[in-house]
Amino acid sequence: MDQVDRLLLDALRANARATYAELAKVVGLSAPAAHERVAKLEAAGVITGYHAAVAPEAIGYATSALIGIFITDSADTDEITAALTAIALVEDCWFVAGEETFVVKVRVADVSALEAIIRELNAIKGVARTRTTVVLSTKFEGRAPEVKPR
């Protein structure tokens, strides 16, 4: 990956809907060359997808929480991962070092829905307990670090 690739990544992170002509202007290439570079970044797994950012509150998910999951000594982390994957309201899941084994981010309609998902998480085989942190407000989210040259 060279400086042109890094510039392309920064440009796509700023506007994933940019045309190849727009990207080409940013990096000083022709549109076909920019297209080829982007295709190579996709094929290499550097670019893993494109998505529309949606305001959760606008679609009925006004409450967010981070939930730490503590597991039992005999728990199977693969089974717990599969169970977490099956819960649609679990937006993100991290396997972490520290007291918890997993930390998940959930978005729900309200506090009663949060209570229900906490019960659901605690019912997963191998989960010993959970610890919940309710998000009061989001200052920023989903920000990736700038692509720096090596």
Report whether 132 contacts 65 (CB < 8 A): yes
Global pTM? 0.80
**pLDDT digits 0-9 by tens, 89-105:** 999 999 999 999 999 99
Query: Under CATH, which number does the domain 3-43 receive?
Result: 1.10.10.10
**pLDDT digits 0-9 by tens, 26-72:** 999 999 999 999 999 999 999 999 988 889 999 999 999 999 999 99
The confidence score (pLDDT) of residue 83 equals 98
Residues 87 and 103: their CA atoms lie apart, in Å, by 14
Residues 10 and 21: their CA atoms lie apart, in Å, by 15
Options 3.30.70.20, 3.30.70.920, 3.40.50.300, 3.50.50.60; CATH of 56-135: 3.30.70.920
CA-nearest of 119, 120, 125, 131 to 72 is 125
Q: How do the domains of the chain map onto residue ranges?
A: 3-43, 56-135
Q: Is 50 exposed, middle or buried (0-12, 13-18, 19+ CB in 10 A)?
A: exposed
Model confidence at 74: pLDDT above 70: yes
Q: Which two tokens stand for residue 51?
A: 């998505």
Residues 3 and 9: their CA atoms lie apart, in Å, by 10
Neighbouring residues of 16: CB distance < 8 A, sequence distance ≥ 6: 50, 51
